Structure 1
């Protein structure tokens, strides 16, 4: 978390392009070698934990009750992943959002990372016997709900817990999808 915090602080202060890995490591009180043990490059520090999030989402789906619908299983996955977020992530969330929004390369990387989360959920749903395209669609709604909830969670005026926001976002998307028919 020190490397993530240091990177976001530096990116906000002097810009993404002007920040080096050496500066991030120094700000975190670590060495450049230590940075590279955790991340292959400076953009990956912005997406720390994505593999763990994918596992939590897949495990949440796998652990949903046997009779759960695909979206109920996705809701269980959202509960599992959002419960792991800490106040510090909420605190630096707006700066993280701004850094990513300001750089095409980072926006593209964010889309790639979201696709990985979606794939993890779709695979877990398929393992539960949910056929495609229902598995892919439910997974996509789950990622969209996660993203919408995160954006709401990091708003300064927000006082709702992340898991609650994720459930609300999933319900909104489910309702919106029902109007498409």
Structure 2
């Protein structure tokens, strides 16, 4: 088995999601994931501490990109405009592999309570990164938290539409995420 090939982490994620979908999270072992990805078990552990962490592969990068986009937004941007800049920045890093993985990942998460919990923690981490970036811009804490939570929800909704929707619509992830953010912003007006 090859040990140090390019894209090893991505191959491990794809192998894990496929196995989780085929046989369930609990029934899938690290050894099976490594074998499916064409690497050794020790190579798996060089990339991930356990199989649960496969779900959040790339979370640190995504959090960093969201925060950088917010930080680089124009100084006069509103909190939601800054969040939109973060969504655009993060969306630019998502490619065809992310799009293909989306529906399978969603199915794997839906079938496992443990993965649902890990996915919820991922959302908390993304919101915390955006909240901190907004606070650094001088946005008051409650406003920063609300804007960040709307940003996470918009990203998740946009990602779901992008990965599960019409592949020929010509719209990228950023367009879907920004449309979701606009819809959520409009929905907040009806809260009273």
Which TM-score band (shorter chain)? over 0.9
Does 2:182 align with 1:171?
Answer: yes
| Deviations 1:23-80, CA, capped at 9 Å, x for gaps | 1111111111111111111011122100110000111100101111100000000001
Aligned residue number for residue 56 of structure 2: 47
Which structure 2 residues correspond to residues 150-161 of structure 1 after superposition, within 5 A? 150-158=159-167, 159=169, 160-161=171-172
Computed over aligned residues only, the root mean square deviation of the Cα atoms, in angstroms, reads 1.0
Separation in structure 2 between the aligned mates of residue 106 and residue 8 of structure 1, nearest angstrom? 11
Matched, 1:13 2:22: yes
- Indicate the residue corresponding to 1:116 in structure 2: 125
Specify which of 29, 38, 44 is matched with residue 38 of structure 2: 29
Residue 3 (structure 1) aligned with residue 12 (structure 2): yes
User: Structure 2 length normalisation: TM-score?
Assistant: 0.91
1:134 to 110, 133, 143: 143
Is residue 12–residue 44 contact of structure 2 (8 Å, CA) maintained in 1? yes
Matches within 5 A, 1:63-142: 63-142=72-151
TM-score when scaled to structure 1?
0.97
Distance (Å, rounded) in 1 between the aligned partners of 2:33 and 2:166: 30
Cα distance in 1 for residues equivalent to 2:24 and 2:131: 36
Deviation at 1:156, TM superposition (A): 4.2
* Structure 1 outlier segments of 4+, above 2 Å: 156-160
How many residues were matched structurally?
Answer: 181
Q: Following TM superposition, by how much is the alpha carbon of 1:105 offset from its aligned partner in structure 2, in angstroms? A: 1.2
Larger CA deviation: 3-12 vs 153-162: 153-162
